[in-house]
Structure 1
């Protein structure tokens, strides 16, 4: 290529090329803008809960069979979404008697309501690695609002399909009386603390 005979024009072209290259370098690549779809579930995570307002009467349990989907938009966090479906029959308590009792009609009524479902309405970033997920939980045919506070660790954005993309921990609360589970509320308490710990993968 011949040299430009106009030094000023050559400098302008050089400057334009450098600035243009710098702008392109700052722009995110197309894959970064794409919605990332991640899976979570009981095979790689836990949903635990505890009931009771005091250490004396506090009861703990978990759900073994559940699945969920995370749609993550890094460029627009509010466009992200979370959905979780729990098989209520997979509930496990400290002993068989407790497990049977919570499957009964006074509590989860698992034969009539085999699923508990959470659907997000909005997602807000609260910190560098923390999020607030505002949504609704449906239990025993009743839908009530619920907030999950999420922390993200060990993020691996270049992880191949089938391997861990990140680890998530979510914490929330519900009042069981709002879902018709009022038995022993005066003795045990109303508040149910829910904790989700899971790997998310593509």
Structure 2
């Protein structure tokens, strides 16, 4: 066995022990929240007459993206729920309280992908587990690739947009029939590691 063959045998063996999948095209990215290039926005009906818009300002995450095999990609995001911001201090205080997000007991929400379906590499359905207030439900995010490429600082970035809808009742929140659902828009830009 040559040195090169031994090297690949060791890499393959190590990957099998640690449950890693080796792909020449897969890359790991950290979501760029420090540069304000990622957003978690929401809107919810206010009494059926208008929309309340807001966002979460403190979150982190990472994703693995393989452009040649997008279905093998994955994403994980953690959200600090007390970072909710609807541009109204009293309402935000109310939303952080026990009746709604209960941030003192449940300071984090999270999303972990379980499956990704993509037929063209530019759009995808991302299935995953979303946990909020200690309740985990399977949700689907409709996502599209915005673009990828080198940045001016010598790095490499990939960006995606996504949308999903959550039922408030699934997470123990009753805002009345006019506000039964919350619509989430995601803008994610990752820096390749």
Shorter-chain TM-score category?
Answer: 0.7 to 0.9
Q: Which has the higher helix share?
A: 1
Measured in 1, the distance between the counterparts of 2:131 and 2:67 equals: 28
Measured in 1, the distance between the counterparts of 2:169 and 2:32 equals: 27
Measured in 1, the distance between the counterparts of 2:180 and 2:161 equals: 23
| Equivalent of residue 181 in structure 2, options 191, 194, 198 | 191
Shift of 1:54: 7.2
Asked if residue 100 in structure 1 is aligned to residue 93 in structure 2, the reply is yes
Q: Which has the higher strand share?
A: 2
Measured in 2, the distance between the counterparts of 1:131 and 1:154 equals: 14
Larger mean CA deviation between 89-98 and 35-44 belongs to 35-44
Measured in 2, the distance between the counterparts of 1:160 and 1:79 equals: 29
Asked if residue 35 in structure 1 is aligned to residue 23 in structure 2, the reply is no
Measured in 1, the distance between the counterparts of 2:42 and 2:51 equals: 10
- Aligned counterparts, 1:114-193, within 5 A: 114-156=107-149, 163-182=155-174, 184-186=175-177, 188-193=178-183
Asked if residue 109 in structure 1 is aligned to residue 99 in structure 2, the reply is no
Shift of 1:73: 2.4
Deviations 1:20-39 (A, max 9, x none): xxxxxxxxxxx982420011
Identify if the C-alpha distance between structure 1 residues 178 and 41 changes in structure 2 by more than 3 Å, giving closer, same or farther: farther
CA root-mean-square deviation = 2.3
Shift of 1:189: 1.4
**Rg (Cα) greater in structure:** 1
Structure 1 gap ranges (5+):
1-30
Measured in 1, the distance between the counterparts of 2:188 and 2:67 equals: 19
Measured in 2, the distance between the counterparts of 1:162 and 1:172 equals: 33
Measured in 2, the distance between the counterparts of 1:41 and 1:104 equals: 29
Measured in 2, the distance between the counterparts of 1:193 and 1:56 equals: 16
Shift of 1:56: 1.5
